[in-house]
Structure 1
Amino acid sequence: MTIAPKLAALAVLLREEHVLLVQRRNPPDAGLWGFPGGHVEPGETALAAASRELLEETGVTAQPLRYLTNIDVIRHDHDGVLQFHFLLAAVLCAYDRGEAQARDDADAAQWHPVTSVLAGQLACSRHVDDVLRCALEA
């Protein structure tokens, strides 16, 4: 069985030296903090998906500004068999309105100090710090 890569989008949102993160409810990163995001629907741009997923997971609205980077998430089982392959498009967004509330598949949604995230004081998904650095440089 061939597993094709799936496209997903991440909403990267900075506000007053804080970054909005969600704590994942579902595997593969259940319990870890990461950017709001999810699957890109057929016919939808990753920019639009990032904004939609942000609203669905947090209740916050934002305007997608531009792509920051892409991340391949590839996982194999203990025998080396491919389990899944996601290509994540990280999208820088500009805050519009809304209070962060956990919705959809998030257990929590909170604004975290950028310095805490970069210092590793939060249990985050892989590459959260790398993407955050890209956002700060933008």
Structure 2
Amino acid sequence: MAHFPRLAALAVTLDGDRVLLVQRRNPPDAGLWGFPGGHVEPGETALDAAARELAEETGVIALPRIYLDNIDMIECGEDGALRYHFLLAAVLCDYVSGDPVAADDAMDANWFLVEDILAGAKPLSGGVARTLARAMAAQQAGASQQAGVAQPSGTARQAG
């Protein structure tokens, strides 16, 4: 008997005004576009799993930064029996290197303009647009915080 819910991680990877998405090969979202991701292994954090799954599915390397959201994916059969329940931990990742190439359970992988995805340019898995909007807000907030931090201009000594 399967244990529910299953924990998975999504790598929400931004590079400027672009987002990395994969087209799913397998159910439940076969043919739809979403963030690369997969199961969190025992003893692995969701942050680490997001980076690992991103590399496995696309060949892209990124550094996991923060948790953005938790997304429940629940489906029941016509008889009401639970078919699956995944708890997806969406992780904001900073792009480091690599060109996306579909591998593992992805049919396609590519960078897209964030504005095109938010405008509905591709058929998306549930929660992608909302999570992408959160990622953009978190990225903006991070940039604002960094811009507002005074940088030290030299070394100061405390009189003793």
Runs ≥4 residues deviating over 3 A: none
2:95 is matched by which residue type in structure 1? Y
Structure-1 residue corresponding to 2:82? 82
In terms of fraction of residues, the more helix-rich structure is 2
Structure-1 residue corresponding to 2:148? none
In terms of fraction of residues, the more strand-rich structure is 1
2:44 is matched by which residue type in structure 1? E
Any idea what SS the aligned residue of 2:134 has? helix
Does the 8 Å CA contact 1:65/1:91 hold for their aligned counterparts?
A: yes
2: CA distance between counterparts of 1:2 and 1:17?
Answer: 40
Cα deviations by residue, 1:31-84 (Å, 9 ceiling, x for unpaired): 000000000000000000000000000000000001001000000011211101
Any idea what SS the aligned residue of 2:95 has? strand
1:63 is matched by which residue type in structure 2? L
Structure-2 residue corresponding to 1:121? 121
Q: Indicate whether 1:133 and 2:140 are aligned.
A: no
Q: Indicate whether 1:49 and 2:10 are aligned.
A: no
Structure-1 residue corresponding to 2:112? 112
1: CA distance between counterparts of 2:100 and 2:16?
Answer: 14
Any idea what SS the aligned residue of 2:21 has? strand
Cα deviations by residue, 1:87-109 (Å, 9 ceiling, x for unpaired): 00000000111011001110000
Return closer, same or farther for 1:134/1:79 CA change in 2, 3 Å cut-off: same
Larger Rg: 2
Cα deviations by residue, 1:85-136 (Å, 9 ceiling, x for unpaired): 0000000000111011001110000001111111112101010001001101
2:15 is matched by which residue type in structure 1? R
**Identity among equivalent pairs (%):** 62
Between 1 and 2, higher relative CO (CA 8 Å, sep ≥ 6) is seen in 1
Q: How many residues align?
A: 138
- TM-score (norm. length: structure 1): 0.97
2: CA distance between counterparts of 1:90 and 1:53?
Answer: 12
2:116 is matched by which residue type in structure 1? S
Any idea what SS the aligned residue of 1:122 has? coil
Q: Which runs of 5+ in 1 are unaligned?
A: none
